[in-house]
Amino acid sequence: MEQCPTAHVLIFPFPAQGHVNSMLKLAELLCLAGIHVTFLNTDFIHDRLVRYTDIETRFSCYPGFQFKTVSDGLSADHPRSLDKFMELYDSLNSKTKPLLREMLASNQLGSNTRPSLTCIIVDGLISIFTSDIANELQIPIIYFRTISASCFWAFFSVPNMIEAGELPVRGNEDMDHLITTVPGMEGFLRYRDLPSFCRGIDLNHFNLPIFVTETQRSPQAHALILNTFEDLEGPALFHIRTHCSKVYTIGPLHSLLKFQLEAKRSLSQSQSSNSLFEVDRSCMTWLDAQPLKSVIYVSFGSISTMTKDEHMEFWFGLVNSKKRFLWVLRSDSIAGEHDRNEVPIELVEGTKERGYIVSWTPQEEVLDHHAIGGFLTHSGWNSTLESVVAGLPMICWPYFGDQQLNSRFVSEVWKLGLDMKDVCDRFIVEQMVNDLMGERREEFMKSTTKMARLARKSVSEGGSSCCNLDLLVEDIRLMSM
Ligand code: UDX
């Protein structure tokens, strides 16, 4: 790949685990291609990254890389939890925006050894205020989205759905009603599969127009980067490309990065973590002692919470299935003021026979472990892609946002597993775990093995994601001339 000594990119993720994780991978890929990268974190996120990882040491091997931080405008003790999403979003807009503007206007990111900015790659979720600044200062801007192409396309189609009277979803709607106004998804997308922001119940916490407006502005950006691959989401990408002229699909990013690091023989780096939580590696020792493909991995991502009752339904379902399980229970997983920060003792005590509970795992390594045979997931997009690459069948219990749509694609379109959305019942959990790990395993393994092969092909030399990364690098290099 050609070196780009004069190109310099600012990468700015939305301050949350799934966003920071994938954008750091993009940053490392651009560093490997010889591009200067400034990675902008909020202070809150950067403190956690530094506390729980060796991130600064790891990136110190790239001379063109630097971290910068900026305030998110919230107080140190603000929970920054999902139910306070709009407070964080509004604060970024009102408090962080002027700080970022000043940083860029006074060229604080350039130096004697570092060229001034070539372009900004911003998380599409905060593109509105960033593109205002980029336009004012005439810096090209590229949007990066951490959601699937299919979810992006569903968000893009919201105005069509509203015009046709299919949105908003009202309380008394038949949730199995098929949506007719998202081109390419007419035969299988139901109300219950729409991004959760389309459901009335979510509107207390989220402002649907924000997600729609952020997405609708994408055609105005210089380009759009998506963490997906052509063989997985060709139909949605076809529709997106009728609106956005340059779409770079460079996923699965974690796999592309691993491939490129291995090609450069930086093998030690391919196991590194971008976690905002303390990783408990004891689960790897536990997994080493389990039989091949015998364990179901259970994780609901970095943000979702559930009630103690819901936890108990999952726990009974898992225990009654008599299958082995490794379960991530974050200390803040349990919803409700009183229960917060305590994992129910009966879960921990009653799990010892066949299960293992940890507060955070090295997930990519876990999914690659020979003892893991399936994944009970919340269908976050990173987790979904990580499971696809590992060739694991999934049981999906989507919690919010894009996850409702991802789980429909996993079960109905890609046939990679089962969708348990809108149900939380110990008998269903038990039955699905037994189906996935036993009776229907062969059926799912055919599709998961095939999709894993396509994912690996896409990131290998000559594959679509590998070639698209080269095109993106070339595009950035040309902008710097
Ligand atoms: C949410 C959205 O659902 C997701 O689609 C969007 O792209 C980002 O915001 P989140 O709940 O964080 O994401 O889930 P996910 O996208 O799956 O990301 C979680 C990340 O944390 C994954 O990369 C996973 O490997 C990592 N993880 C999770 C760990 O490293 N250890 C764990 O124990 C659990």
pLDDT in tens, 314-353: 999 999 999 999 999 998 888 765 554 566 676 666 677 7
* List of residues 6+ apart from 335 with CB closer than 8 A: 305, 306, 307
Does the annotation mark 280 as catalytic?
Answer: no
Fill in the amino acid letter for 164. Answer: A
Amino acid 3: pLDDT: 46
Indicate if the pLDDT at residue 205 is higher than 80. no
Amino acid 4: pLDDT: 46
* List of residues 6+ apart from 463 with CB closer than 8 A: 229, 457
Torsion of CA 339, 343, 346, 347, to 10 degrees: 130
Indicate if the pLDDT at residue 201 is higher than 50. no
Closest Cα to atom 14 of ligand 1: 380
Torsion sign (Cα): 90, 95, 99, 102? positive
Q: Per mean pLDDT, which range of 2-6, 213-217, 474-478 is the poorest?
A: 2-6
Amino acid 265: pLDDT: 72
Amino acid 1: pLDDT: 45
Asked if residues 55 and 49 have their Cβ atoms less than 8 Å apart, the reply is: yes
Asked if residues 50 and 17 have their Cβ atoms less than 8 Å apart, the reply is: no
Phi-psi region at 336: left, alpha or beta (left = phi > 0; alpha = psi -120 to 50): left
Find the residues whose C-beta lies inside 6 A of ligand 1: 16-19, 21, 146-147, 275, 299, 301-304, 328, 360-361, 363-364, 380-383, 386, 401-403
CA–CA separation, 469 and 459 (whole Å): 9
* List of residues 6+ apart from 349 with CB closer than 8 A: none
pLDDT band for 437, please (50, 70, 90 cuts): very high
- The single residue of 72, 123, 193, 402 carrying the catalytic annotation is 123
Does the annotation mark 54 as catalytic?
Answer: no
- Average pLDDT score, the chain: 91
Task: Give percent of the chain with pLDDT exceeding 70.
Answer: 93
Indicate if the pLDDT at residue 202 is higher than 80. no
Q: Per mean pLDDT, which range of 187-191, 262-266, 406-410, 413-417 is the poorest?
A: 262-266
CA of 445 to the centre of ligand 1 (A): 23
Indicate if the pLDDT at residue 444 is higher than 80. yes
* List of residues 6+ apart from 332 with CB closer than 8 A: 81, 305, 340, 341
Residue tagged 């009776």 (tokens): 439
Q: Which of 399, 307, 301 lies closest to 344 in space, CA to CA? A: 307
pTM of the model: 0.95
Q: Per mean pLDDT, which range of 202-211, 306-315, 442-451 is the poorest?
A: 202-211
Mutate to test the pocket of ligand 1, among 302, 332, 389, 392 (most ligand atoms within 8 A of CB): 302
Indicate if the pLDDT at residue 266 is higher than 70. no
